[in-house]
Amino acid sequence: MVVGDFPEEVDTLVVGAGPGGYVAAIRAAQMGQKVTIVDKGNLGGVCLNVGCIPSKALISAGHRYEHAKGSEDMGIVAENVSVNFDKVQEWKGKIVNKLTGGVESLLKANKVDIVKGEAYFVDKNTVKIMDEKQSQTYKFKDCIIATGSRTIELKPFPYSDRVLDSTGALNLKEIPGKLVVIGGGYIGTELGGAYASFGSEVTILEGTKDILGGFEKGMTQLVKKRLKKKGVELVTEAMAQGVEETDDGVKVTYEVKGEEKTIEADYLLVTVGRRPNTDEMGLEDIGLEMDDKGLVKIDKQCRTNLDNIYAIGDIVDGPQLAHKASYEGKIAAEAISGEKSEIDYLGIPAVVFSDPELASVGYSEESAKEAGYEVVAKKFPFAANGRALSLNDSDGFVKLVTRKSDGLVIGAQVAGPNASDLIAELGLAVEAGMTAEDLSLTIHAHPTLGEAVMEAAEVVLGMPIHTA
């Protein structure tokens, strides 16, 4: 980094190198812009380093351990199966390093300049980028802010070696004997379930009536059934009060139905949401409009009230999803290049890597009715799917939500094996304006889980083959 009074000049400056920022930078460079990307942390952001990727690696390792212990129903018996958790963490780290290294290679291949440091906005065309030793001024024509979010720390539960956020939980050196999780959202459910797969005694404390808010009850019931099978205790309508750290663990106090209770564990994981990283950057000083939650206000092209500054990802309204950030990054980069690209969130899927997996896209049956649609919503169970049965994993279903007048697919939900992959076809159906008949006429290979999509379409049409 050069120090001096002469500013560096770029066409587009991207602040933040997570799944929103690095995708935006690459697309902007592809559109002919001179691009610089800056981040104070590692390339790939939370997702690649301490979020999506390492958590799914840990979940996969947990499933592999469960499977290795055998399946008596299938005639598979195994003895003396054990976990070397140091090796699990080492394997997880290799995946993270491979992907973050890949991001750096992709940025360089697209001639994007990479700068390490923190950005502070001087005005709508100028930032100072600072590291521990020096600073440099950058002038830009356009800027995309993609600084992501961080975990919310509750005052009664300050983070420590025993009170963990998701990052701490992913980097444990041991499998906890006992783990308490505050929050039954997707992070708490995923990580609580992962450690339960490794044999931890897990308790999840959720303040509302059910876990995984936003998903239909018929879907969350399947997850709760599996959690119970793993030995997880789920306490709903439980309000955590405080934590006391002991020499070798924690003592958590919570209230349920007016009664105060205490539970002891090796670790406490707190997963109660994330807040946008929009403070301490000078955004308010340059007049950028934000709401009372610190979210930046944008239009359909991700443009803020300052016409040359764009914002994407967790710092704008909507679900905090890596693929949403990447999608918005492309929109912003294309808008800067004069394209007419606009955001349309209907086709963005939501996925929970629980056991079984849950996935949803477009409208649910309830939200479609609230929006004024008259719908036909039907399910096809995995219990009637040959591939699911052969995998010994037949809990769940594929559900289609279609407009009654013409069969247009306006939403879908999948609960069951490989839901995270199956939702892609259904997202395409929503995005492309396909009908249930289109899906039913698409020949699916046999035997596959994907056949359940075709079969669900046939149920909607009133002509099912493999279910009564």
Does 379 share its domain with 441?
Answer: yes
Q: What kind and span of H or E run contains 265?
A: strand 259-265
Q: Is residue 388 part of a domain?
A: yes
The rounded distance, in Å, linking the Cα atoms of 198 and 63 is: 8
In a domain, 318, yes or no: yes
Is 168 annotated in some ligand binding site?
no
pLDDT recorded at residue 2: 44
Catalytic machinery residues: 446
Contact call for residues 343 and 403 (beta carbons, < 8 A) = no
Q: How far is CA 319 from each of CA 132, 199, 219, 345, 351, rounded to the nearest angstrom?
A: 33, 31, 19, 10, 11
291 and 258, same structural domain?
no
Tens digit of each residue's pLDDT, the chain (468 residues): 444 557 899 999 999 999 999 999 999 999 999 999 999 999 999 999 999 999 999 999 999 999 999 888 899 999 999 999 999 999 999 999 999 999 999 999 999 999 999 999 999 999 999 988 889 999 999 999 999 999 999 999 999 999 999 999 999 999 999 999 999 999 999 999 999 999 999 999 999 999 999 999 999 999 999 999 999 999 999 999 999 999 899 999 999 999 999 999 999 999 999 999 999 999 999 999 999 999 999 999 999 999 999 999 999 999 999 999 999 999 999 999 999 999 999 999 999 999 999 999 999 999 999 999 999 999 999 999 999 999 999 999 999 999 999 999 999 999 999 999 999 999 999 999 999 999 999 999 999 999 999 999 999 999 999 998
Whether 286 has a binding-site annotation, put simply, is: no
| Domain C-terminal end among 225, 242, 272 | 272
- Do 145 and 36 fall into the same domain? yes
Within-domain flag for 466: no
- Per the CB < 8 A criterion, the answer to whether 146 and 24 are in contact is yes
Is residue 1 one of the residues assigned to a domain? Answer: no
168 and 92 co-located in one domain: no
Question: Per the domain annotation, does 37 fall within a domain?
Answer: yes
Same domain, residue pair 187 and 118: no
Chosen domain end from 298, 322, 345: 345
Is 187 known as a binding-site position?
A: yes
Question: Is this prediction's pTM over 0.85?
Answer: yes
Co-location of 309 and 415 in the same domain: no
287 in the same domain as 240:
no
Residue that has been written with the tokens 């076809």 in this structure = 425
Model pLDDT, residue 71: 86
Q: Which helix (H) or strand (E) holds 263?
A: strand 259-265
Number of domains in the chain: 3
Q: Report the sign of the C-alpha dihedral through residues 316, 105, 139, 285, in that order.
A: positive
- CATH assignment at residue 262: 3.50.50.60
Structure confidence by residue, pLDDT tens digits, 307-337: 999 999 999 999 999 999 999 999 999 999 9
242 carries a ligand binding annotation? no
Q: In this structure, are 423 and 338 located in the same domain?
A: no
Coil, strand, or helix at residue 21?
A: helix
In a domain? residue 200: yes
Identify which of 355, 391, 353 has the alpha carbon closest to the alpha carbon of residue 222. Answer: 355
CATH of the domain at 435: 3.30.390.30
Lookup: tokens for 353: 């890597």
C-alpha to C-alpha distance for 339 and 343, rounded to whole angstroms? 12
The tokens for 193 are 């379930």
Among the three residues 299, 315, 345, which one is the final residue of a domain in this structure? 345
In a domain, 324, yes or no: yes
Verify that 283 and 380 share a domain, yes or no.
no
75 in a labelled binding site:
no
Q: Are residues 362 and 237 in the same domain?
A: no
Annotated ligand binding at 101? The verdict is: no
Question: Does the annotation place 355 within a ligand binding site?
Answer: no
Q: Which residues contact 171 (CB under 8 A, 6 or more apart)?
A: 50, 89
Find out whether 206 is annotated in a ligand binding site.
yes
Average pLDDT value for the chain: 96
Look at residue 72 in the predicted model and tell me its pLDDT: 86
- Bridge partners for 255 per DSSP: 239, 260
- 174 and 211 fall within a common domain: yes
End-to-end alpha carbon distance in the chain: 69
CA–CA separation, 96 vs 18, rounded Å? 13
CA distances from 377 to 230, 399, 430, 460 (A): 32, 7, 14, 7
Residues 224, 329, single domain; the answer is: no
Q: Which residue has the tokens 């599996």?
A: 226
* Domain contains 351: no
Distant-in-sequence contacts of 316-322, Cβ < 8 A, 24+ apart: 317/291, 318/345, 319/348, 319/350, 320/149, 320/274, 321/348, 321/350, 322/18, 322/19, 322/20, 322/47, 322/51, 322/52
Find the domain containing 176 and state its range.
Answer: 163-272
Contact 90, 100 (CB under 8 A): no
Question: Does the annotation place 314 within a ligand binding site?
Answer: yes
